[in-house]
Amino acid sequence: MTGEGTTSASAGAPAERRGRPRSPAVDTAVVETVLRLLEDGVGVAELSMERIAREAGVGKATVYRRWAGKEALMLDVLRSLDEAVPGPAGACVRDDLVALLEFLRRRGLAKRSSAVLRTVVAQVQARPALWAEYHDTVVAARREAFEAVLRRGMASGEIRADLDTELLTDLFVSPMLSRALFHEWRELPEGLSERIVDTLLEGVRPA
């Protein structure tokens, strides 16, 4: 969280820390301020270190004492988003899939979440490290949860076993994702998760 963790390869003991300790409140205040600004649609470009410090009510030097620059700060901001995805608890695979999509829907409804996602997407080209961090801390866990449910369904016969779980995950997730990205909380109505899952399960061709 302090950012030093990203660079401090100091394997040695941290030794004795003399003097006033760093306030943990500052770390959270800064990260929280960044999230709030992104949420308000500020855009990572207009986010200057100066403005972040100002709006967080924090000295600029205090920010630079913790993070080497905007890139390092953003990395920690993304790290702070790590979140537990719901485990499989439904009666059948279909319900588990709906639950996972419903989790995504509620996240997409939160301005914070979709704003951060948009920000990350915008940086895919320019700052691969940022995207990699987001993928590792947020995306990977979700994908793994989906694929686990799908594999379970394949074993139990509820899901065709001749399909690639990676492609299947995309088919389930990306409709929700696209709407959250493009339409921002609109177009994520109640019941959307069920419609996506059921349509995918049944297929589009008539029986």
Partner DNA sequence: CACTTCCGGAACGGTCCCGTCTCGTATGGG
Partner DNA sequence: CCCATACGAGACGGGACCGTTCCGGAAGTG
Answer for the pair 119, 104: CB distance below 8 angstroms, yes or no: no
In angstroms, rounded to a whole number, what is the distance separating the alpha carbons of residues 164 and 66? 44
Q: How many CB atoms lie within 10 A of CB 32?
A: 13
Which residues lie near its own copies (CB under 8 A)?
41-46, 115, 118-119, 121-126, 131, 157-161, 163-164, 167-168, 170-171, 173-175, 177-179, 181-182, 184, 195-196, 199-206
CB of 140 to DNA, least distance (A): 30
Residues 18-57 within binding reach of DNA (CB under 7 A): 18-23, 26, 46, 48-51, 57
81, amino acid identity: L
148 is a site residue for DNA (CB under 7 A): no
State which residue, 64 or 182, has the beta carbon closest to its own copies. Answer: 182
Q: Residue 60 or residue 160: which is nearer to DNA going by CB?
A: 60
Tell me how far apart the alpha carbons of residues 99 and 85 are, in angstroms, rounded to a whole number: 10
Task: Please state, in angstroms and rounded to a whole number, the distance separating the CA atoms of residues 171 and 100.
Answer: 13
Residues in binding contact with DNA, number by CB under 7 A: 25
Q: Which is nearer to its own copies, 27 or 119 (CB)?
A: 119
* Minimum gap (Å) between residue 91 Cβ and DNA: 50
Phi-psi region of 131 (alpha: psi -120 to 50; beta: other; left: phi over 0): alpha
User: What is the closest distance, in whole angstroms, from the C-beta atom of residue 113 to its own copies in the complex?
Assistant: 13
Nearer to DNA (CB atom), residue 125 or residue 203 = 125
The alpha carbon of 31 is separated from its chain's Cα centroid by a whole number of angstroms, namely 15
* DSSP result, 139-197: IHHHHHHHHHHHHHHHHHTSS-TTS-HHHHHHHHHHHHHHHHHHHTTTT--TTHHHHHH
7 binds, among its own copies, DNA, none (CB under 5 to 8 A by kind): none
CB of 25 to DNA, least distance (A): 8
Closest contact distance (angstroms) between CB of 36 and its own copies is 13
Neighbouring C-beta atoms of residue 63, cutoff 10 Å: 21
Q: Which residues bind DNA (CB under 7 A)?
A: 16-23, 26, 46, 48-51, 57-62, 64-66, 69-70
